[in-house]
Amino acid sequence: MSARKMALALAALLGTAATPALAQTVAITGGKVVIGDGSDPIEGGTVLVQDGKVVAAGKGIAVPAGVKTVDASGKWVTPGLVVAVTDLGLFDVDAVDDSNDGDASKSPFSAALDLSAAINPDAQHIKVSRAGGVTRAAVAPLGTGSIFGGQGAVIDLGADPQAVTAPRAFQYVDLGEAGARRAGGSRAASYVMLHNALGEAKELAASPMAARRDDVLLSRRDAQALGAVVSGKQPLYVRVERAADIRMVLGLRTEYPALRLVIVGASEGWMVAGELARAGVPVLATPLTDLPESFEQLGSTQSNVGRMKAAGVKVALGAFFDQPRYAPQYAGNLVALTRVPGASGLTWGQAFAAISSGPAEAIGMGDKFGSLRAGRAGDVVLWDGDPLELTSGVVKVYIDGIEQPLDNHQTRLRDRYNTPNQGSLPRAYDW
């Protein structure tokens, strides 16, 4: 084969690799379609996916001849769930240190740490979450000896070895009580540490070849990583809970106007909702926090998300470190709050958007996934009932137009012991 032919063959191979393998052209018809943008569900709608992308979704969609059709009558059809700020893929068994890559407290680096290097696409909790309708996630932070938790990664939960959609997608910093402890015991120390770090990053970015001062506190690697934050190329996710801390974070833009801030947690966000709305800073709120588990959460209320939404804050749900697949349960509770006198919740459409398009937009990838708008990734989930109802379950999951397996360790154990064969149970159990 000539060199030219070999080059053409390689180019064709690379072009094929860039397209989702086995992506289907499929029309899902007759279901109750949820676009995921806050609008109401559409009865008897159709979702058309081609080459891994959503082509159209809604009522009266024409299905081309020869296209595979999935009858979704009696089912709900939604975009895949998006969970922002989670530890998916970072551990096999959380309690076993050797299998847990979520702790880097002994590392000499912090801001430079790239979480994408530790993602395991075969981790069981990725499979469990996929079976629960989760299709995308923003993974962070690491536990470090610093206020910085490393550079988070955006992943898809498809059953293939290429999990990472976007490495180094954002930087994570903790400025709450935990950050204060790591910085020396006081919030004053954590804010000085942050300002110093951003200052060192700015200096290094301005003169990358110049000798650094003797009094720098960051390693060159950490300072280089934070250069993308100072320039606005990389979002800065800031974990804070109390209102006073949120105000301090919003004030960072006075010195660093290019910062792309995202607030994580925000238990007292409702107390500064007007300021958050005017700043246009997205919030990934911890849902349903209503008990003061710490002093920074004294003003917490279940109405937090609803009040921020009513004030015009770009709020979605985030910080799912236990079971990301429970996101619909939290969203459903926010809908129920609208029926409680004096409480503030979300409409059904707003609640589903808070676990789909809302997190995707906060991540900065709302144009790529999180809804069934045309051009978004073909991440589609079929449910046997209202997805925000606890008794509803997932029937099918597509990621990038590829139907995904829903089996995992939990389902195999369920099936094994639901109808046990001889020898399936230990000998001590005769029943």
Tell me the two tokens of residue 20.
Answer: 């989702």
Tell me the two tokens of residue 176.
Answer: 């709450």
pLDDT of residue 95: 81
Nearest Cα neighbor of 30 from 74, 80, 78 is 74
Tell me the two tokens of residue 321.
Answer: 């470190």
- Co-location of 133 and 270 in the same domain: yes
pLDDT of residue 427: 61
- Co-location of 233 and 375 in the same domain: no
- Asked whether residue 429 is assigned to any structural domain, the reply reads no
Structural domains in the chain (count): 2
pLDDT of residue 431: 53
- Asked whether residue 138 is assigned to any structural domain, the reply reads yes
- Co-location of 61 and 106 in the same domain: no
pLDDT of residue 320: 87
Q: 79-129 pLDDT, tens per residue? A: 999 999 999 999 888 888 888 899 999 999 999 999 999 999 999 999 999
- Co-location of 66 and 102 in the same domain: no
- Asked whether residue 263 is assigned to any structural domain, the reply reads yes
- Co-location of 102 and 244 in the same domain: yes
Which domain range does residue 379 map to? 1-79+371-405
- Environment class of 46 (CB within 10 Å of its CB; exposed 0-12, middle 13-18, buried 19+): buried
Q: 237-260 pLDDT, tens per residue? A: 999 999 999 999 999 999 999 999
Count Cα atoms within 13 angstroms, Cβ side, for 222. 24
- Asked whether residue 278 is assigned to any structural domain, the reply reads yes
Positions in the chain whose pLDDT score sits under 70: 1-22, 422-431
Mean pLDDT of the chain: 91
